[in-house]
C-alpha cells in the first residue's frame, strides 16, 4: 500500500489539535473534506485512528503509533522537496519572502546591484505560510511577523511596530483615539486567534464556547471585506493597516498590547553566503530607519 502524504498531513493536524474544526481551519479546508480524508486513511490502514464523541476527540493506540511514525516521514518528504526546488532554481536565483505592509525593495536592490548576474525575486506571503515558504525552499530568506514556530529556522530581529484594530466605520469604537484589548473581548476575530494571543486569552466567545472556529481567510484584502461588512474585526500591524487604507474601514490603536515584531527568517541548515549578506543588508537598513533623526 502506498501511503498518501496529504492524508498523513491531515491526520497529523487533527492529532495535534484533537479537534476537527480547528484542524480544518489550520489546513484551510472544509471540515467535511477533512473528515472524509481521515475516514479514507483509516480504511486504507484498516485501523481506527480517533475516538470521537460529541465532547472530545482522542487518539486510539493505532493513532498514537501513526503520529510517532508520520512526523519523521513528513519531515523527510519536506526536506526532499526543499532540495529539489533549490536545485531547480539554480545558484543564480535568490528569492525574498515578505508579509503584507512590508517594503523589501531597498534591500533587494542593494543585493542585485552587488551581484549583477543574480536574479532577485520576491514572494508575498501570509500569516499561515510565512515560515512554510522558507522551509519548503520557495524563498531563501523571508520577512516574517512574530509569533511563528521557529523550529528549523534562524531568526534575526529587525523592527517592531504598534498593532491596531481594523473596524467598520460605524463600529462604536471607531471614533476612539485608542482602546484596550479588553474592549474587544465581546468581538469576533476574523483571523487565527493564535496570531492575537492577548485577544484569545480574554475572548468571551472562546471562554464560553459560543464561537465557531474562524473560517480560513487568507488575504488582508478579504479580511477587510469582512470587516467592512460588519462580520468582525482583525488586529493588524500599523504598516499593514495604513498600506491597505479603504474608505469603509478605520483602525484604532490598541494601547495595552505589545508591538508586532518583524524578523528575518531562513533555514538554519543552509550556509549560503548570499543569505547572510542579505540579512546584513536588511539589518543595516532597519537600523538606519529606527535611528533618531
Asked whether the beta carbons of 220 and 236 are under 8 A apart, the reply is yes
Q: What tens digit of pLDDT does each residue of 159-201 get?
A: 999 999 999 999 999 999 999 999 999 999 998 888 899 998 9
CATH at 104: 3.40.190.10
Q: pTM score, two decimals?
A: 0.67
CATH at 44: 1.10.10.10
Are 212 and 231 found together in one domain?
yes
The structural domain count of the chain equals 3
Are 174 and 56 found together in one domain?
no
Are 113 and 240 found together in one domain?
no
Q: What tens digit of pLDDT does each residue of 121-167 get?
A: 999 998 888 998 998 888 999 999 998 989 999 999 999 999 999 99
Are 79 and 189 found together in one domain?
no
Are 56 and 175 found together in one domain?
no
Structural domain including 153 reads 91-161+260-290
Are 154 and 108 found together in one domain?
yes
Q: What tens digit of pLDDT does each residue of 229-270 get?
A: 999 999 999 999 999 999 999 999 999 999 999 999 999 988
Amino acid at each position: 500500500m502506498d501511503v498518501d502524504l496529504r492524508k498523513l498531513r491531515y491526520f497529523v493536524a487533527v492529532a495535534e489539535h484533537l479537534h476537527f474544526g480547528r484542524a480544518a481551519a489550520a489546513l484551510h479546508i472544509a471540515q467535511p473534506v477533512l473528515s472524509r480524508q481521515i475516514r479514507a486513511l483509516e480504511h486504507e490502514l484498516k485501523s481506527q485512528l480517533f475516538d470521537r464523541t460529541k465532547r472530545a476527540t482522542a487518539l486510539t493506540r493505532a493513532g498514537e503509533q501513526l503520529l510517532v511514525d508520520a512526523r519523521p516521514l513528513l519531515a523527510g518528504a519536506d526536506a526532499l522537496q526543499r532540495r529539489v526546488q533549490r536545485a531547480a532554481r539554480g545558484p543564480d536565483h535568490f528569492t525574498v519572502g515578505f508579509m503584507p505592509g512590508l517594503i523589501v525593495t531597498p534591500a533587494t536592490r542593494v543585493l542585485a546591484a552587488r551581484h549583477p548576474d543574480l536574479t532577485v525575486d520576491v514572494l508575498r506571503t501570509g500569516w499561515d505560510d510565512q515560515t512554510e515558504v522558507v522551509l519548503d525552499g520557495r524563498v531563501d530568506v523571508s520577512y516574517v511577523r512574530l509569533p511563528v514556530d521557529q523550529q528549523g529556522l534562524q531568526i534575526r530581529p529587525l523592527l517592531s511596530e504598534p498593532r491596531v484594530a481594523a473596524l467598520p466605520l460605524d463600529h462604536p469604537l471607531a471614533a476612539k483615539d485608542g482602546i484596550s484589548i479588553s474592549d474587544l473581548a465581546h468581538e469576533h476575530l476574523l483571523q487565527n486567534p493564535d496570531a492575537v494571543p492577548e485577544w484569545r486569552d480574554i475572548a468571551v466567545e472562546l471562554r464560553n464556547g459560543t464561537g465557531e472556529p474562524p473560517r480560513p481567510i487568507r488575504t488582508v484584502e478579504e479580511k477587510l471585506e469582512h470587516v467592512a461588512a460588519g462580520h468582525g474585526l482583525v488586529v493588524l500591524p500599523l504598516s499593514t493597516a495604513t498600506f491597505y487604507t479603504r474608505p469603509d474601514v478605520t483602525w484604532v490603536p490598541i494601547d495595552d498590547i505589545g508591538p508586532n515584531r518583524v524578523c528575518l527568517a531562513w533555514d538554519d541548515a543552509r550556509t549560503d553566503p548570499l543569505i547572510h549578506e542579505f540579512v546584513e543588508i536588511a539589518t543595516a537598513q532597519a537600523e538606519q530607519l529606527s535611528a533618531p533623526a
